[in-house]
């Protein structure tokens, strides 16, 4: 499996120089879905999701001037990318735990700049069809490995791709076998983290729903997509992912559909929920697990509100004297890995992006994160009435990401989120451009008619 995954990665990198731009976007999404565990030894960067964006960027060298001009036409985008780059540079210069190059690569080139790569790769709404097709195929593959993982209780793909490596917390267990003996088994499929598997299923469900609404996908493919996505969301056994799915789907429906339909749907769903909770044991168990997170002395294995409060207290204690810029990027992983005297009790999970940013990048880093994602939301909120469907897709993906990041930590959610938001932003800008051209054309026709009279 490892050899096959490496070959697929290298072939996709080569194809970046030959296929049309919209298929490049599809391969970037593919990397975020099925190649997250792939590392290729012996070449620079190693990670598949580092190599694919580099190959895309290099393949576009003739169009670099046009691409960068396009970024400047989006209100605030160039400024925001500069802001997060400055924040990453400060983190790189102040961290004793990671090399500056590592931080700049991970934070700038292969996370925040994903929004630019996606913006460049997509031309208009029709060019999302290859993305939808590729992501559908990837969902089938993910679900196939997920079913095997569920039946065997071991993520064999992850074990094959991470052979010889173990996690920071479970230091003596293979990364694909962490949950084999756990009371609360989680399906990982092709991801190191089952939470990332659940999250990617949530955002793919939203993307394909948009595709179905816009006539880019037929009913059969959409129905299969829903089944695959719900399998991943449920079997990842993450209560935050369940909440993300419910709230982001609700956001999409309320944003894209008329108010009366949204109210009727809310009544029907609430009624169905009450009946199913009272009669279906599976639903009752899942709902009880979700609500357990807010109870003291929770009986469900995993996070609880008590644990989060302890993590917050530990974060503020460790932050003392380093409030502005934090303890340095990589502080948490370094101390957990080396089991030093400063071991972070109560922070083994680091279960919120808020805790991580405060601890490692201080109040400044947290403010930059808030400003960046608030600005992104404002872009789509401003045009919600003119283009409700594409802004609804972006807002629901944004909602899923923010809830996920705050609830369980960012993990690998940032890269696919920014890819989808970059595509949504390009589709929105193209629709606005065509609307302006149409308005100009109509005004010219009207002027000519008036002149003729």
pLDDT tens digits, one per residue of 229-255: 999 999 988 889 998 999 999 999 888
pLDDT bin (cut points 50, 70, 90) of residue 258 is confident
pLDDT bin (cut points 50, 70, 90) of residue 259 is low
Is the pTM value of this prediction over 0.75? yes
pLDDT of residue 453 exceeding 80, the answer is no
Q: How many residues does the chain have?
A: 453
Q: What is the mean pLDDT of residues 209-226?
A: 93
Q: Greater confidence, 199 or 305?
A: 199
pLDDT tens digits, one per residue of 119-175: 999 988 899 999 999 999 999 999 999 999 999 888 889 888 887 776 666 666 777
Q: What is the mean pLDDT of residues 288-317?
A: 65
Helices (H), 257-382: 259-279, 281-292, 305-319, 331-338, 353-382
Write down the pLDDT at residue 420: 96
pLDDT of residue 261 exceeding 90, the answer is no
Tell me the C-alpha distance between 168 and 166, whole Å: 7
Lowest-pLDDT range, 12-16, 266-270, 280-284, 400-404? 280-284
Max Cα distance, the chain (Å) = 88
Which range has highest mean pLDDT (48-52, 304-308, 309-313, 331-335)?
48-52
Please state the domain count of the chain: 1
CB 124 within 8 A of CB 427: yes
Write down the pLDDT at residue 263: 67
Write down the pLDDT at residue 269: 63
pLDDT of residue 295 exceeding 60, the answer is no
Strand partners, 19: none
pLDDT bin (cut points 50, 70, 90) of residue 265 is low
How many other C-beta atoms can be found within 10 angstroms of the C-beta atom of residue 259?
Answer: 8
* Domain limits for position 71: 2-293+300-452
Can you say whether the dihedral through the CA atoms of 30, 36, 40, 43 is positive or negative? positive
pLDDT bin (cut points 50, 70, 90) of residue 408 is confident
Write down the pLDDT at residue 282: 61
Write down the pLDDT at residue 136: 96
Write down the pLDDT at residue 341: 45
Tell me the C-alpha distance between 158 and 38, whole Å: 9
pLDDT of residue 273 exceeding 60, the answer is no
Write down the pLDDT at residue 267: 67
3-class SS of residue 174:
strand
pLDDT bin (cut points 50, 70, 90) of residue 377 is very high
Q: What is the mean pLDDT of the chain?
A: 84
Q: Greater confidence, 58 or 314?
A: 58
Tell me the C-alpha distance between 131 and 153, whole Å: 31
Instruction: Give one DSSP letter per residue of 401-435, joined into a string.
Output: HHHHHHHH--TT-HHHHHHHHHHHHHHHHHHHHHH
Q: Greater confidence, 109 or 395?
A: 395
Instruction: Give me 342's structure tokens.
Output: 């400063």
Write down the pLDDT at residue 448: 72
How many other C-beta atoms can be found within 10 angstroms of the C-beta atom of residue 221?
Answer: 17
pLDDT bin (cut points 50, 70, 90) of residue 288 is low
Q: Greater confidence, 205 or 289?
A: 205
By CB atoms closer than 10 A (0-12, 13-18, 19+), residue 239 is buried
pLDDT of residue 430 exceeding 70, the answer is yes
Write down the pLDDT at residue 46: 84
- For residue 261, the number of C-alpha atoms closer than 13 Å in the C-beta half-sphere is 8
Q: What share of the chain in percent tops pLDDT 70?
A: 84
3-class SS of residue 393:
helix
């Amino acid at each position: 499996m490892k050899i096959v995954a490496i070959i697929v990665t290298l072939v996709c990198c080569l194809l970046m120089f030959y296929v049309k731009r919209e298929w490049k976007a599809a391969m970037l999404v593919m990397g975020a879905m099925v190649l997250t565990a792939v590392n290729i030894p012996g070449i620079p960067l190693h990670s598949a999701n580092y190599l694919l964006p580099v190959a895309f960027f290099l393949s576009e060298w003739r169009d670099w001037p046009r691409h960068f001009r396009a970024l400047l036409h989006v209100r605030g985008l160039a400024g925001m990318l500069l802001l997060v780059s400055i924040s990453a540079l400060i983190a790189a210069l102040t961290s004793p735990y990671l090399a500056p190059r590592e931080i700049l690569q991970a934070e700038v080139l292969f996370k925040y700049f994903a929004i630019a790569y996606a913006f460049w790769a997509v031309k208009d709404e029709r060019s999302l069809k290859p993305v939808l097709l590729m992501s559908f195929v990837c969902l089938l593959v993910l679900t196939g490995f997920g079913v095997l993982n569920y039946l065997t209780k071991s993520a064999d793909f992850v074990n094959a791709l991470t052979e010889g490596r173990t996690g920071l917390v479970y230091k003596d267990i293979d990364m694909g076998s962490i949950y084999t003996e756990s009371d609360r088994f989680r399906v990982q499929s092709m991801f190191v983290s089952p939470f990332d598997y659940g999250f990617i299923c949530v955002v793919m469900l939203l993307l394909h729903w948009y595709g179905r609404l816009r006539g880019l996908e037929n009913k059969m493919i959409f129905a299969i997509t829903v089944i695959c996505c719900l399998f991943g969301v449920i079997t990842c056994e993450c209560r935050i992912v369940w909440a993300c799915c419910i709230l982001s789907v609700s956001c999409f429906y309320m944003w894209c559909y008329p108010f009366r339909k949204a109210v009727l749907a809310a009544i029907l769903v609430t009624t169905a929920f009450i009946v199913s909770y009272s009669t279906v044991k599976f639903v009752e168990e899942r709902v009880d697990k979700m609500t357990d997170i807010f109870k003291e002395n929770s009986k469900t294995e995993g996070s609880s509100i008590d644990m989060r409060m302890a993590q917050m207290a530990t974060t503020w204690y460790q932050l003392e004297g380093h409030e502005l810029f934090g303890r340095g990027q990589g502080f948490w992983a370094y101390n957990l890995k080396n089991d030093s005297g400063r071991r972070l009790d109560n922070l083994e999970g680091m279960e919120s992006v808020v805790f991580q940013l405060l601890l490692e990048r201080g109040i400044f880093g947290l403010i930059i994160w808030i400003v960046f994602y608030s600005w992104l939301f404002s872009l789509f909120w401003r045009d919600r009435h003119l283009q409700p469907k594409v802004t609804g897709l972006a807002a629901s993906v944004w909602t899923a990401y923010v809830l996920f990041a705050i609830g369980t930590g960012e993990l690998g959610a940032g890269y696919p989120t920014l890819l989808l938001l970059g595509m949504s932003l390009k589709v929105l800008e193209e629709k606005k451009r065509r609307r302006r051209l149409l308005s100009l054309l109509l005004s010219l026709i009207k002027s000519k008619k008036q002149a003729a009279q």
